[in-house]
Structure formats: structure tokens, C-alpha cells
Amino acid sequence: MGLFSRTPPVPDRADLAAAVLRLDPKDASNLTTNKIYRRCLPSIPDSETILAVVAAHIGDGPSEDLGPLVVSPENLLFFGDRHGQHKIPLELIDNVGMTDGETLVVDYGNEPVAYRLAMTGPESQVFFAEQLRAAIDQAKEAAKTPGVVAPASEADELDKFARLRDLGAITNEEFEAKMAQVLSSRGGLAPSGGDLDPKNPE
């Protein structure tokens, strides 16, 4: 499977594979076959459950960076090829919106952060925006009640693995193992290290 296939290459990681399969086939192929994005995908720590992912650019000119932009239950994360990882906690995001049909603007603190999304399919944009807004809403709700994990995360995980099984991306045995793992795990996600300020990636 490659760039000219209607079926994109499916990454080994189950949550990443599920997010990629929700993209338009061209966008999925771009994300999984482009050498820069492929090099950055393994940087996403296992502690961050991937709800949605797209290829994105941040910055301009010499400071431009390319990499996957990821929505997890707690953070919006960018894994750049040049400047490494930065993350924005979802509960601190004031607003998100699209400009010029391809730029995602995230209001965070005093200054907005702009990501140019490398997507051609409108369904990819819609899916990513829906996942981001839903995750922000859940994170803000969870922040109001400290110590409570955002609701429906376990159900979302189980649904994700069920879709992967139904698509043939994982076997029934792998599904059962993942289901047992999800049901046995309790508590929040561990934070990842090495964060950079998204407004100053240097």
C-alpha cells in the first residue's frame, strides 16, 4: 500500500491507526508516507491517547516546522521535525476556528497559535475539528471537578478498537487484549516531558 492506493498504510499503533483511517484517503497517505511526518509519528508518547491526527505546519520561512498535530483527551500536541514537541492543555484553550480554509487558529493565552493543516479532504477537516472541540469540552468539564477523569474516554477507546477489528486492522485476539488493557487501567494520563512553548518553539 502506498501513495497511489485508495487504502492508506495503517500504522502499528492502534489509536493512531484508528485516527488515520478516519481521514480522507489522500490525507491519510500524505501523513503515513511522507518521510517527514513518518519520522515524527513515533515521537507521540504512548501516554497520549490519539483521538485525531493531521499533518500540519507551524511558523513561516526559516522557523517553519512540519509534523503531526494530535488531539488527545487532555492536550493539543504538535510533533515538529525541527523543533520537537509542544503541547497546549485543552482546558486552557479559549476558542478554535478556521481561517482561509486551511489554517486552524487556537486562542490560548494572550496570543493565538496558527497551524496550517496539510489536508485536501473536507471530511478530514470536519472530523479533526469535531474531535478537537469535543475533547476541549470534555477537558473543561473535567477541570471543573478535580480528580475526575473526563467521561466516556474508556468507551471511546473500546469503540475505537472495535472499529479497528471490524476494519480488519487488528485481529479479534488483539481486540480482546486491548479491551482487557483498557478496562484494567484506571486514572489519568501521565504527562509527557520535553514540552516547548508553541509560541516560541526555539
Q: How many domains does the chain have?
A: 2
Determine which helix (DSSP H) or strand (DSSP E) holds 123, and give its type and residue range: helix 122-144
Q: Is the pLDDT of residue 82 over 90?
A: no
CATH number at residue 106: 2.30.29.30
Of residues 169 and 12, more confidence is placed in 12
pLDDT at 55 over 60: yes
Phi, psi dihedrals of residue 187, rounded to the nearest 5°: 100, 180
Same domain, 130 and 47: yes
- Pair 130, 84 in one domain: yes
Give residue 85's domain range. 14-148
Q: Where are the beta strands (DSSP E) in the chain?
A: 52-58, 65-71, 75-80, 84-89, 93-99, 103-108, 111-117
Give 85's Cβ-side CA count (13 Å radius). Answer: 18
Residue 2 lies in a domain: no
Q: Give the pLDDT of residue 70.
A: 93
pLDDT band at 93; cut points 50, 70, 90:
very high
Q: Which of 86-100, 122-136, 146-160 has the lowest mean pLDDT?
A: 146-160
Higher pLDDT, 145 or 9: 145
Indicate the pLDDT class of residue 11, thresholds 50, 70 and 90: low
**What confidence category does residue 153 fall into, taking pLDDT thresholds of 50, 70 and 90?**
low
d(CA 58, CA 188): 29
d(CA 149, CA 80): 28
Residues in the chain: 202
Q: Of 25-39, 93-107, 128-142, 186-200, where does mean pLDDT reach its minimum?
A: 186-200
More confident residue, 8 or 170: 170
Q: Is 105 part of any domain?
A: yes
- Integer Cα distance of 34 and 32 in angstroms: 6
Q: Which three cell numbers stand for residue 175?
A: 481486540
CA-to-CA distance for 164 and 191, rounded, in angstroms?
A: 26
Residues 49-65, mean pLDDT to the nearest whole number: 87
